Amino acid sequence: MKKLKKNEKLFLIILIFLAFFIWFASKHFFTSTSDTISITINGEVFGVFSLKEDQIISIGDTNVCEIKNGEAYMIHANCPDHLCMEQHAIGKQGGTIVCLPNKIVITGEVSSNYKENFPELDAIS
């Protein structure tokens, strides 16, 4: 680009700085650990499942979610683009999988039950 005007340059720098700040902030402060996944369809809770058990969950008759080795991912979707199947698996570090066409959102969560959270602690004591 040729010489940008001064305030235009400043505007761009602030914009880029802000975007990266939000990005870093979300990476560092809003990542949480999770041991369960919550599946919602159209805003309503479909179910909460533990990441500890390997299982295959049919979500309605449109999508299928699999939990394996502590990670959850979508293994089937009836829409043509299959974007939800390419998204990062939900593991201990949390995450979100979204299927826009079928309005399904899967989020990693921390279950409120302490015993379910740390069964090994219980076993030691």
Positions touching other proteins (CB under 8 A) are 1, 4-5, 8, 11-12, 15-16, 19-20, 22-23, 25-27, 30, 40, 42-44, 83, 86-87, 96, 98, 100-101, 103-105, 107
CB of 102 to other proteins, least distance (A): 9
Nearest to other proteins of 4, 121 (CB atom): 4
- Chain center to CA of 124: 32
CB of 123 to other proteins, least distance (A): 33
Walk across the sheet containing 63-68 and list its strands.
55-59, 63-68, 71-77
Q: Are 62 and 42 in contact (CB under 8 A)?
A: no
Structure tokens at 87: 């998204």
